[in-house]
Structure 1
């Protein structure tokens, strides 16, 4: 005999929602429903899509940032225009005035001593008169860095830094520079070459200058590097004098 089954009751779906119940229907079918307290001033769930409570979209958030973006763009545009105007004015001024580079030259030199110690260490003493000139008639210059080096062939034998100075338009400045070589190593080939030059009464040195120059024209300032190169020929020490020279200055 088949078992007797009791038919189960089927609940009808409640489309209005089971979570929100009235106080009268707190308990149904053995399940207790606790009414949810609403915060005063907040809309009910069924009112969230009501026209009186529109949903905030990302487009409206972007609209709030638009004035700030436009302000930044305007500032960048103004800054770019100012830079362009300043650049054009500077270019026109310098094309009209045609500024020239300051010049570095050697007006005189004295070779006081050359002594080669064993093994192949050079000791020497050279004094020369540096000539700095500003050929511009309307532009002042400022030498912010002045470095001088003395070479025999490609070997550095002395170096010195001079004090910065300013030059007015058309001004010439003479400055004595004392270069001392102390225990500078020379290769055997360079040692023999220097001995031959001393014996032949014609010593050839190279003077290199490195200068950081600032050009001023009113409120316009331009800074650049200059390089001076002088090849000098001197008679042998102790009273060696300047016999010949070749100088040039370039950027």
Structure 2
């Protein structure tokens, strides 16, 4: 029997090198392959006891979208530690004087509201009306010219003050009456203060004297012309303060009266016509 060459036995395949895509992508070249995963537990940091006035608030630097720890090719990454922020609580109390001031302000506001409502109710119940100023009668006694720019005059007026309120008394003070001709004041006279009951009328006579009053040439020429035509136009202006009284409630306001007068020439000097108005100042 011939000796046949022995068939070589099959050898096991060699182990492929550890050069895989995962090792090529995620493993550093300068370090060997790690087979032991990282520990999931981080080293605990020592904590110090906190005071009772502090609260620990944890703030995560990143939004925690998933609770699982992210992995890369079987290697788990180390979880992120939370940031601990201490907050100190306020322990001091509010000053009692602040509470007292707040209470006083609240009481004052309530009293102010009540007073405003009471005033509104009284106003609607009484409906106060404005007193009326009028000229009942007038007489021009004298008017003559001293020089081309000066003249003298004498006039009597009977003033009429009426209080139309039915439940409210008034007081008139700081009264002044002025005589004007062509927007030029030629005489003035004051009136003493007086009281007037509800629904009452008072007649007050006064005398207006013009003594050597200067008038521009054009005004003096116009006055002479009106004396010749027997129709002299004057204006009466009055300013006075009215004080209304209702028990302990007092309020005041100013009134302005105006009357357009037309008088005859002296010596008759009677009142021909008048037109009076009273307005709040």
- Per the TM superposition, whether the score is higher than 0.5 is yes
Aligned to 1:152: 181
RMSD: 1.7
Cα deviation, residue 125, structure 1: 0.6
- Secondary structure of 1:81's counterpart equals helix
Which of 74, 95, 107 is residue 78 of structure 1 equivalent to?
107
Aligned to 2:250: 221
CA 122–80 in structure 1, closer or farther in 2 if over 3 Å, else same: farther
Name the CA distance, whole Å, in 2 between partners of 1:111 and 1:68: 72
Name the CA distance, whole Å, in 1 between partners of 2:178 and 2:105: 46
Name the CA distance, whole Å, in 2 between partners of 1:84 and 1:145: 33
Which of 206, 217, 222 is residue 177 of structure 1 equivalent to?
206
TM-score using structure 2 length: 0.65
- Secondary structure of 2:198's counterpart equals coil
* Larger RCO: 1 or 2 (CA < 8 Å, sep 6+): 1
Name the CA distance, whole Å, in 1 between partners of 2:102 and 2:183: 55
Q: In the alignment, does 2:223 pair up with 1:194?
A: yes
Cα deviation, residue 136, structure 1: 0.8
CA deviations over 1:201-225 (Å, ceiling 9, x no partner): 0111100110100111222211101
- Secondary structure of 1:240's counterpart equals coil
Which of 108, 133, 144 is residue 104 of structure 1 equivalent to?
133
Question: Which moves more between the two structures, 235-244 or 165-174?
Answer: 235-244
- Secondary structure of 2:143's counterpart equals strand
CA deviations over 1:15-44 (Å, ceiling 9, x no partner): xxxxxxxxxxxxxxxxxxxxxxxxxxxxxx
Aligned to 1:245: 274
Larger radius of gyration: 2
Contact residue 148 and residue 217 of structure 2 kept, 8 A = no
Cα deviation, residue 121, structure 1: 1.1
Cα deviation, residue 84, structure 1: 2.3
Cα deviation, residue 63, structure 1: 4.7
Q: In the alignment, does 2:228 pair up with 1:168?
A: no
TM-score using structure 1 length: 0.72
Contact residue 133 and residue 172 of structure 1 kept, 8 A = yes
Name the CA distance, whole Å, in 2 between partners of 1:136 and 1:237: 39
Question: Which moves more between the two structures, 116-125 or 68-77?
Answer: 68-77
Give the structure with the larger helix fraction.
Answer: 1
- Secondary structure of 2:167's counterpart equals coil
Name the CA distance, whole Å, in 2 between partners of 1:145 and 1:86: 29
Name the CA distance, whole Å, in 2 between partners of 1:125 and 1:106: 16
Name the CA distance, whole Å, in 2 between partners of 1:208 and 1:109: 14
Unaligned stretches of 5+ residues in structure 2:
1-50, 52-89
Aligned to 2:172: 143
Name the CA distance, whole Å, in 1 between partners of 2:105 and 2:189: 46
